[in-house]
Amino acid sequence: MNLPKTKAGYNELWKQSKATRMRALIQRVSKAEVKTPDDGVIGNIQRGLLVFIGFVPTDTEAILPQMARKLLGLRVFSGRRPMDLSVQDVAGGILLVPQFTLAADLQRGMRPSFSKAAPPELAERLFDAFTEQVRSLHSPFATGKFGATMQVHLINDGPATFWLDLP
């Protein structure tokens, strides 16, 4: 890594180190499905995790394995004790849904700003790569459609909903 040569360079490096990263909103569900107006139901699972995924411009494919390991290993299902089993332990499904609004900035005004969201081309590439990574590690698996208007129907089990932000 090349170190900055100016104070402005260090300030920019500091800002980047504090930047948000890939974000997932995870819901433990009894069942969930996603559909589009044109295609009807395009993905569904029974017991498992509904995972909304959003990316920011600084995200790269290098962070995807860490997110996949964390997602598959999260102990949010009850076994002998509350929250001691992972989605893999219970053979549950995973439904991944792309959602750029997770990167919204709500600090100013009344309208969300999406300037912190990854550009669509980058976000789609990362979502596709993450989809393939999780699909190769876990089944049953389903996904939403990038860039589509979708309707998500779910029965939240708990309710149990979790934020997962990578450092």
Catalytic status, residue 101: yes
Distance of CA 104 to the CA centre of its chain: 14
Q: Which residues contact 154 (CB under 8 A, 6 or more apart)?
A: 27, 29, 31, 32, 33, 50
Catalytic residue among 46, 60, 101, 151: 101
CB atoms under 10 Å from CB of 120, counted, come to 12
- H or E element in which residue 14 lies: helix 7-17
Question: Residues with Cβ < 8 Å from 89, sequence gap 6 or more?
Answer: 75, 77, 79
Does residue 100 have an active-site annotation?
Answer: yes
Structure tokens at 40: 């009807």
Catalytic residue among 52, 100, 130, 146: 100
Q: Residue type at 125? A: R
39-54 burial, b for 16+ CB within 10 Å, e for fewer? eeebbbbebbbbbbbb
Catalytic residues: 99-101
